[in-house]
Chains A and B, each alone.
Chain A
Amino acid sequence: MWIRFKRDRTGVISAFIVLIFFAIAAAAPLIAKAYGKNPYTVYADERPELFDSAGVPIQPNGGISGEFWFGLEPGNGYDVFTKLIYGIRTSLMISIAVTLAVVITGILLGVTAGYVGGKTDYSIGRVIDFLLAFPSQLFFIASMPVVVSLFVSPTDETPTYVRVVALIVVQWVLGWMSLARILRGTTLALREREFIEAAKVSGASPWRIIRREILPNVVTPLLVQSTYLLPNFVTIEAGLSFLGVGIVEPTPDWGQMFSKASTELVLQNDITYMFFPGVSMIIFVVAFNLLGDSVRDAFDPKSAR
């Protein structure tokens, strides 16, 4: 399996790209330190000579220079490079947390529904149907403020961690169904296999059967699905921040950079601010999806190559 994966050049390259992104995210503070800036410095106050009266960097292309590699944001004048790497960090942390929560829920509910069957299966199945019928994008936008207000009274300033938790919860609640469904189907097929009966004849407990006999056999769909889920959550999170219900300034975030850039695109007809977050996100999502394809191919030799 590993050997098959290594033979797949696209898979290896995309795995490298994905790993680089994760490394950047993990090492963001170190990189920022080496670079000598941080994403919270308001350069409009520190270095007013770089900006014109409207708060737009004087130099072309958003003020790209040897000092500010990716330029400066108009307005507060944050450094785009550090903002981007910190933004990737925030986005990936949230997405990984959501993926983990979704995988755990998916295993618990999916495998339980598939193995126990009967009424349990029926009720879990209906819950899945119900949640899948939700217009999820709309529901994300609508429920984010609601979830936030559960933790903080509307009059207070919302702390960042509350927004992060709310983002995770909302995506988790509406994100686990597809995985649970796939695992339920796989478990349903496994349940009828004779090795499960063999374990029962030896007196194995249902818990042991699920843990030792079923779980190792659902690893393949689980891994494949998770590699598809994670980039999906990255884009959803970016979308929410773009729409202003996710992470807000001054916390750096991938999606929120788009919303900033889009206003600039309209105001100044300058595409620079869209360029860096846009290109990096396209590379990340495409690489991750290609990686998902390769993982599936490596696990399932029967799929046509």
Chain B
Amino acid sequence: MKEDLVLPAPREAAADSAGEPLLQVAGLTKHFPVKGGFPIRRTVGAVQAVDGIDLTVHVGESFGLVGESGCGKSTTGRLITRLMEPTAGTISYRGKDITHASRKQLAPIRSEIQMIFQDPYSSLNPRQTVGKIISGPMEINDIVPEGGREKRVRELLEIVGLNPEHYNRFPHEFSGGQRQRIGVARALALEPKLIVADEPVSALDVSIQAQVVNLLQKVQAELGIAFLFIAHDLAVVRHFSQRVAVMYLGKIIEVGDRESIYTRPRHPYTHALLSAVPEVNLSDETDGGRRERIRLAGDVPSPISPPSGCRFRTRCWKAQDKCAAEEPPLIQISGNHEGHLTACHFPEEPTIEGRDEDIVLDPALAALEEGIEGQ
């Protein structure tokens, strides 16, 4: 069903994408110091939330960033919007280095990079009216659109599917989905070129999720805005993004266009992630046959002391000595499409078809299943 959906070509994308990329991130790193010790507190370690990631977002493109909780997706988003100071690496926007730019230096770019937040209940100031919230960014950047700010706010409310008459209401008068629409309107107020959407739908219930994702898709297509779409919901990202990167423990382990990642993944973690998506499948004999089944064991290792070499090796069923000794580079493996990069020494077959034997690493689950089979 999702495959039927045709993404309209972004307006500006065709014209601009040949040129330089909109956003380029290289070796981006964020380490949070861990303080400890007595009596003198000192830095005893670092949480390596983001550890050297590279990514590129083109004009008008929607780039998805997926991974499980705590892998550094949100930190990446906050680094790119410069809400946090990167430890190392560079962020350049339209060829201009903004890695350590001050607030004043950032001023001209601020209006072009905006953000949509995860929690619509905390992202709107409860003491401001909707009109004030949405016109705030314009006020800060001294922008007076044609016909005045109020007219523009009413337009924006209409774009995001709210009644322009809601101008003077307060956020608590709205539902979660409506609040998120207000957040979208605020992000659009400055006519940005790039929106970082940090799990914009994960706080909403499923029926509202679809509405908001469709709204974002409409906005992206009609206004030609590039999106960095951060989410843990693979289905939503698949629906929304043209290119997808998979993160694990602060690193990008696989990146490629949507088709490659979802139907021809190479990294074992991507395989495991895709196989973990629950599937509504009423008949066993559907087209394409059975999906592969991989169940991982244990938790993500602590980002304070990540494993040497490949970070996924502690949970990987193909791990060998080489994986601990040598960190796999993010490269294009033979047989991959252009732009499909994988960081793995022993990549999987590019398929998600069911395999001869399921990979069940969780001992409890394995024992349980053995017991059922034995009966």
Contact = CB atoms under 8 A, between A and B. Distances in A.
A197 B124 contact: no
The A interface, classified by DSSP as helix, strand, loop or mixed, is helix
Interface stretch (B58-66, B102-110, B270-278, B337-345): B102-110
Nearest to A220: B127
B122 interface: yes
Contacts, number: 61
Contact of A217 (B110, B127, B140): B127
B117 A194 contact: yes
Contact of B125 (A201, A213, A219): A213
Nearest to B106: A203
A155 interface: no
A268 interface: no
A6 interface: no
Count chain B CB atoms within 10 A of each CB in A193, A194, A197, A219 and give the residue with the most: A194
A204 B140 contact: yes
B83 A201 contact: yes
A8 B115 CA distance: 43
Nearest to A213: B125
Contacts of B190: 202
Contacts of B183: 198
Interface string B111-146: 101110111001111111000010011001100000
A300 B107 CA distance: 39
Nearest to A195: B125
A216 interface: yes
Contacts of A194: 117-119, 122-123
Interface in A154-201: 193-195, 197-201
Nearest to B118: A194
B122 A202 contact: no
B99 interface: no
Count chain B CB atoms within 10 A of each CB in A197, A201, A204, A212 and give the residue with the most: A201
A197 B110 contact: no
15 contacts: A194-B117, A194-B123, A197-B78, A198-B123, A198-B186, A201-B81, A201-B110, A201-B114, A201-B115, A202-B111, A202-B114, A202-B141, A204-B140, A212-B128, A216-B128
Interface of A: 193-195, 197-205, 208, 212-213, 216-217, 219
3 closest A-B pairs by CB? A203-B110, A202-B137, A194-B123
Given A203-B106, A216-B127, A217-B127, 18 more contacts: A194-B117, A194-B119, A194-B122, A195-B122, A195-B124, A195-B125, A198-B117, A198-B123, A198-B186, A201-B113, A202-B137, A203-B103, A203-B107, A203-B137, A203-B140, A212-B128, A212-B136, A217-B125
